[in-house]
Amino acid sequence: MKRAFPILAVLTAFLLVCALYLAWTAPTDALQGDVYRIIYYHVPSAWTAFLLFFINFLASVQYLASAKPSTQRAAKWIVIAIGIVGFIAPFIPQVRQQLPVGMYPSSVATTALIITALYFLIGRYFPGQDLDVLAVTTAEVGVVFCTIVLITGPIWARPVWGIWWAPGDIRLTSTLVLWLIYVSYLVLRRFSDSAQTQKLAAVLAVFGALDVPLVYFSIWFFRTQHPQPVIGGGGSIDPGMLRVLLINWGAFLCFAFLVCWSRFRLEKLRREVEEAEALESLLEPAGPAAPSSKANVPLGRGSQ
């Protein structure tokens, strides 16, 4: 597994260079000119950030649920129920009419399935404390990508809209609030000194996830200034541009995965060292009497 890291790193670098080249040579927008090219960074960053935050939410829910076998079972069945309902409901005519224009029932059904699958995959590959390590990793990297979104957005908006920021806009506000919530999540992790930080952080992540739909709902009837989503949102995009956008997203996803991976390993290592130090300090009082006790402490991976 470790050997795959440099290979993936080289591949990501290559993809990012390719994506940059394609972003420069993609067809120029008829109305906006070259300014539009920032979407090749803005949109993939936004998708990546939202995906990471969503993984953080799933990991946090699972971490909270794993405290007791009964809640774990209940959470499992709730997720399965959400998957089944989300898969069937969009095809019922009454529900179908409620969907926004340009959103297909099949895409909603696929999303529901992906959410369920993601939940179980996370539970399968990240058992126990790894769930919390995953949560902190995705939150940190997600905040970085979300920051990119919030910086590139105004840079684009100034020449095109004539304003840096549109207060009350539905997408802008919900992205900003999401960013604020996750920054407060990281602050909590930083300031908390109890052994139960993980649990408190997971609780906050759940609150944040509950908050975002409410933010979206609260500005429902303000007209949005943000361009309609180009995929599945009724907007239209040149196939050449779409291809470049997707390649850019692929490159960004690889990059995010790479950063998450190394951060994940770093965090696990940090915890191992912390544990070893705690163990060492426990054994310390017996030090003079049993000098050999120090040798038994698994101090990180250095000696292996």
Partner 1 sequence: MRSFWSITLATLTKDIRLEWRSKDALNAMLFFSLLVVVIFVFSFDPLAEESRHIVGGLVWVAFLFAAVVALNQTWARELRNQVLDAYRVSPAPANALFLAKALGNFVLVSLLEALMAPLFVIFYNLRVLGPAWQLIPVALLGTWALVVNGTFFAAMSLRTRSRELMLPLLLFPVSIPAVLGMVAGTTNILTGENPAHFYIVLLLTYDVVFTTACLALFETVLQAE
187 touches partner 1 by CB under 8 A? yes
How far is Cα 119 from Cα 61, in angstroms, rounded to an integer? 9
Crossing angle of the two packed helices 4-25 and 39-65, in degrees rounded to 10: 140
77 binds partner 1 (CB under 8 A): no
Using CB under 8 A as the binding rule, the residues of this chain from 48 to 67 that contact partner 1 are 64, 67
Closest distance of CB 173 from partner 1, Å: 8
SS3 29: strand
Q: Are 252 and 50 in contact (CB under 8 A)?
A: no
Q: Please give the Cα distance from 58 to 116 (Å, whole number).
A: 10
Residue 206 C-beta: closest distance to partner 1, Å: 7
Q: What is the nearest approach in angstroms of partner 1 to the Cβ of residue 256?
A: 23
Nearest to 130 by CA among 283, 285, 261, 299: 261
The residue from 194, 281, 292, 304 that contacts partner 1 (CB under 8 A) is: 194
- Does residue 200 bind partner 1 (CB under 8 A)? yes
Q: How far is the CB of 194 from partner 1 (least distance, A)?
A: 4
Of 204, 141, 211, the closest CA to residue 176 belongs to 211
**8-state DSSP, 302:** T
For residues 132 and 59, the answer to whether their CB atoms sit within 8 Å is yes
Kindly determine how many residues on this chain lie close enough to bind partner 1 according to the rule CB under 8 A: 32
Q: Which stretch binds partner 1 (CB under 8 A): 49-57, 76-84, 195-203, 272-280?
A: 195-203
One-letter amino acid identity for 94?
A: Q
Stretch binding partner 1 (CB under 8 A), from 5-13, 35-43, 207-215, 241-249 = 207-215
Q: Could you say whether residue 199 binds partner 1 (CB under 8 A)?
A: yes
Residue 146 binds partner 1, judged by CB under 8 A: no
Is there binding between residue 293 and partner 1 (CB under 8 A)? no
Closest CA to 257 of 62, 32, 52, 15: 52
Binding mask of the shown chain, residues 208 to 247, with x at each position contacting partner 1 by CB under 8 A: x-xx--xx-xxxxx--------------------------
Residue of 206, 231, 253, 273 interacting with partner 1 (CB under 8 A): 206
Q: Which of 25, 98, 196, 296 binds partner 1 (CB under 8 A)?
A: 196
How far apart are alpha carbons 247 and 241 in whole angstroms?
A: 10
Q: Please state the closest distance from residue 50 (CB atom) to partner 1, in A.
A: 17
CA 165 to chain centre: 24
Distance CA 47, CA 220 (A): 21
Report the distance separating Cα 285 and Cα 123, nearest Å: 40
Please report, as ranges, the residues that interact with partner 1 according to CB under 8 A.
64, 67, 177, 180-181, 183-184, 187-188, 191-197, 199-200, 203-204, 206-208, 210-211, 214-215, 217-221
